[in-house]
């Protein structure tokens, strides 16, 4: 004869007014013993409440957002049998990680301790081989818990901690910092405590994926799949966005995984530890690709609700420029060095030569002198005339001196390149600059006109500003920005004198160039511009 049984909140370690964050069943569902019914979240952890009997859910008396305590009614279950799980086995009193046996024990098992020496090896890491050991987190004699990190590995795309599948005492560490390991490489030797009692305590707390009985009884030779609540406090995202327990969230943080990128395989797409591990394995086995930064996408905003708008598509040049500067910004550690050059005498010389330059068919600008000064400085500091190779392990020094000049056009920014500036006079550079600028504005630049650059100059002097941070034009390692020159009082030989000062802004790749080198390089350019005769030496 069918009877209806009340299922109440069991002993939850004395916690009161615990939030119901998820309802895992609905009226009419057929459930088994230990089927998760609801998920509760306290100040310290979240936990699933399993069913003490099998049957059919007839009515649910709680809803998401309710606060419950021990003894509060959860739901009614209609069953043909009395409760199948002894009430003496409540949810674990304190939500903390407990060592699990390699096979979960039945609740009727007699608790007994069994010490066993176990060699723990590197588990499946997605087929990656010769992965670097960048941190060894345990040492002989250390007592560890199940899922405690043993070592940190670093592949081409990510780093991951290797957790222990058992609790126990570390007897021997088989690896050291700097080793290269693959799946199956011995990691540590443990004196592990395998207890049936541990399995009894762990089993009532429902595993994240609620696996079938046969799956739960499989031997464990990699980090255990069932997840137990963690005592670490977490900021829990709402279940309709990301469904994951505290231990899973802790593991994700340790591995640097964004949960919104992981597809959950548990009940109602709940994310399990196995999902996190599989995601990391997949990332470790991926080949490096440009732009893989897991950056959050821009939110979709309806601007029309604030007023009238007009949408215009970006042209191809702006799209390509945007892609390139974004890649440079997120892949290059930028630092900007600011300085000033006294160009009082240089400006006087330029003005004196303006008419002759005009007769020769070009306009003599300060930018042409700067280009020549930079070309000379690159010969003194060759690390600025270099590029990192694709592996990031070699610096390629260039024996040629090609300088790109950023040019504004109606369609966007382009950077034509003046070739072999070390072999050109200032007049030659001015002529070539005028030719390329005209081609740029008339949309006549060819790919060859914009390739092969070693260093870039971006001048905003004709517009204004006192300084800015130009973005390095990868694969170059530095870029010089010029702002508007202005008259400033400069203290010289006991008195202040009005001097024309040109602001210099040098951005550089800190992986290649140190701050002191950048300061010397910028100062040398300033010295050349203060006395252009030094370029001839």
Q: Which residues are catalytic?
A: 510
Residue 236: which residues within 8 A CB-CB, separation 6 or more? 21, 41, 46, 246, 249
d(CA 115, CA 495): 86
β-bridge mates for residue 149, sequence order: 163
Distance of CA 170 to the CA centre of its chain: 32
For residues 264 and 209, what is the distance between their CA atoms, to the nearest angstrom?
A: 9
Q: What's the CA gap between 332 and 508, in Å, rounded?
A: 9
Phi-psi region of 529 (alpha: psi -120 to 50; beta: other; left: phi over 0): alpha
- What is the helix, strand, coil percentage profile of the chain, to 5? 25, 25, 45
**What is the dihedral angle through the alpha carbons of 84, 87, 89, 90, rounded to the nearest 10 degrees?**
120
Residue 436 tokens read as 């390329």
Residue with tokens 């240089």: 346
Give the separation between CA 15 and CA 41, rounded to whole angstroms: 10
Distance CA 123, CA 181 (A): 11
- Residues 276/257, Cβ–Cβ less than 8 Å: yes
On the 0-12 / 13-18 / 19+ scale of CB atoms within 10 A, 418 is buried
Distance, in Å, from the CA atom of 37 to the CA atom of 526, rounded to the nearest integer, reads: 73
C-alpha distances in angstroms, 351 versus 92, 284, 348, 371?
86, 61, 5, 18
Distances (CA, A) of 16 to 27, 43, 228: 26, 10, 20
């Amino acid at each position: 004869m069918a009877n209806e049984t009340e299922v109440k909140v069991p002993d939850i370690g004395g916690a009161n007014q615990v939030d119901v964050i998820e309802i895992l069943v609905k009226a009419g569902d057929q459930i088994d013993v230990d089927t998760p019914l609801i998920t509760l979240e306290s100040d310290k952890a979240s936990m699933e409440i399993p069913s003490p009997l099998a049957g059919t859910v007839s009515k649910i008396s709680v809803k998401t957002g309710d606060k419950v305590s021990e003894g509060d009614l959860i739901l009614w279950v209609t069953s043909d049998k009395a409760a199948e799980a002894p009430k003496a086995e409540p949810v674990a009193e304190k939500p903390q990680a407990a060592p699990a046996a390699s096979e979960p024990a039945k609740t009727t098992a007699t608790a007994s301790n069994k010490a066993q020496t176990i060699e723990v090896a590197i588990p499946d890491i997605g087929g990656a081989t010769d992965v670097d050991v960048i941190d060894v987190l345990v040492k002989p004699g250390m007592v560890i818990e199940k899922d405690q990190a043993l070592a940190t590995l670093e592949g081409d795309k990510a780093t991951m901690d290797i957790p222990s599948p058992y609790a126990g005492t570390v007897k021997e560490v088989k690896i050291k910092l700097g080793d290269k390991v693959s799946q199956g490489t011995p990691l540590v030797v443990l004196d592990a405590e395998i207890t049936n009692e541990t399995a009894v305590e762990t089993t009532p707390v429902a595993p994240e994926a609620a696996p079938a009985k046969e799956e739960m009884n499989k031997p464990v030779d990699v980090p255990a799949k069932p997840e137990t609540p963690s005592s670490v406090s977490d900021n829990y995202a709402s279940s309709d966005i990301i469904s994951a327990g505290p231990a899973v969230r802790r593991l994700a943080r340790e591995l640097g995984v964004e949960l919104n990128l992981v597809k959950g395989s548990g009940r109602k797409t709940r994310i399990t530890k196995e999902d996190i591990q599989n995601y990391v394995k997949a990332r470790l086995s991926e080949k490096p690709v440009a732009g893989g930064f897991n950056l959050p996408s821009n939110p979709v905003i309806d601007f029309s609700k604030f007023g009238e708008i007009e949408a215009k598509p970006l042209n191809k040049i702006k799209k390509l420029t945007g892609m390139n500067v974004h890649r440079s910004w997120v892949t290059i550690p930028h630092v900007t060095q600011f300085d000033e050059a006294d160009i009082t005498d240089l400006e006087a010389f330029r003005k004196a030569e303006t008419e002759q330059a005009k007769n020769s068919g070009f306009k003599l600008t300060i930018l042409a002198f700067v280009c020549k000064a930079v070309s000379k400085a690159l010969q003194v500091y060759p690390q600025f005339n270099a590029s990192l190779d694709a592996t990031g392990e070699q610096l390629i020094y260039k024996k040629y001196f090609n300088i790109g000049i950023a040019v504004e056009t109606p369609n966007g920014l382009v950077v034509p390149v003046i070739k072999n500036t070390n072999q050109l006079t200032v007049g030659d550079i001015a002529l070539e600059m005028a030719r390329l600028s005209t081609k740029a504005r008339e949309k006549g630049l060819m790919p060859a006109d914009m390739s092969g650059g070693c260093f870039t100059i971006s001048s905003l002097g004709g517009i204004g500003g006192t300084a800015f941070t130009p973005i390095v034009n990868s694969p170059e390692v530095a870029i010089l920005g010029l702002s508007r020159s202005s008259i400033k009082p400069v203290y010289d030989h006991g008195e202040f004198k009005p001097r024309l000062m040109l602001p210099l802004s040098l951005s550089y790749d800190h992986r290649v160039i140190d701050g002191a080198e950048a300061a010397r390089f910028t100062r040398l350019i300033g010295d050349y511009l203060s006395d252009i005769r030094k370029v001839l030496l």
